[in-house]
Amino acid sequence: MYANVMAMGRQSTASAAAELALKLPEALLRERIVPRFVDSYVVENERQALQVNAVMYRDLLTLLQREALLALCMRALQIVCDEPQQRGRTKPKHMPRREAALFRKKFLTALVRQQGWTAGEALDFQRDLQTFQELIARVEPRRRRHKPFEAANHPFVDRCAFLMDPSFLEKARMAASKTLVSIEALAAQVCEPEKPDSKPAWKN
């Protein structure tokens, strides 16, 4: 659906943006990407201290969930607004800049409403999302597939590692890098749904 936003009218574009804003957080919660990320990190690196205090552990999950939502939204908006999309048998085309800006605006408006954020929370999320986009745009021209023993050059990786375990920063960055792969696969699956009998990419 989202791949064909260019073929929609203004009202349909708003509906598609609102639907995407609803589906992304739902998918992130449903797949439990953040709890699995933290739990596996704790076990693999024997960092049980991160889970000893229930309140601090819950706060950590909340912070990381927000970072994951930022990365998920950024990748989804890249797919819909920035990457060429196939329309029937015609050559893949980029969404016009004006339409892309409108889609992003409608998406963020819907996301703020659905999440029940205050004006301050909405501005903070929008500012962080823009920071993510600017940092990625800066490294994109020279971006390459990182090797299995390398952490990805991505703001999600650095921010999550610092939030989760600054004492073991490199190990935390490696774990966050693996989680980023799952998040970006989830974004692709939500934007371009797989066939009903196919297995989601992030579960391979």
The 10s digit of each residue's pLDDT in 5-49 is 544 445 588 899 999 999 999 999 999 999 999 999 999 999 999
| Residue predicted with more confidence, 90 or 138 | 138
The pLDDT assigned to 89 comes to 63
Q: What would the mean pLDDT of 88-112 be, rounded to a whole number?
A: 86
Structural domain contains residue 201: no
How many C-beta atoms surround the C-beta of residue 128 within 10 A? Answer: 17
Domain for residue 112, yes or no?
yes
Q: pLDDT tier at 202 (50, 70, 90 boundaries)?
A: very low
Give a yes or no: residue 167 inside a domain: yes
Could you give the angle at which helices 119-139 and 54-77 cross, rounded to 10 degrees? 60
Domain contains 127 = yes
The pLDDT mean for the chain works out to: 85
Helix residue spans in the chain (DSSP H): 10-30, 33-45, 54-77, 97-115, 119-139, 155-164, 169-191
* Residues 132, 154: Cα–Cα separation, whole Å: 8
Q: Helix 54-77 to helix 33-45 angle, to the nearest 10 degrees? A: 120
Domain with 76, as residue range(s), is: 2-194
Assess if residue 83 is contained within a domain: yes
Please state the domain count of the chain.
1
Structural domain contains residue 204: no
d(CA 85, CA 92): 5
> Does residue 60 form part of some domain?
yes
Q: Is residue 199 part of a domain?
A: no
pTM of the predicted model as reported, rounded to 2 decimal places:
0.84
Structure tokens at 118: 């205050």
Residues 83-110, mean pLDDT to the nearest whole number: 83
Residue written as token pair 């774990």: 175
Residue-wise pLDDT tens digits, 108-154 = 999 999 999 999 999 999 999 999 989 888 876 555 455 554 567 89
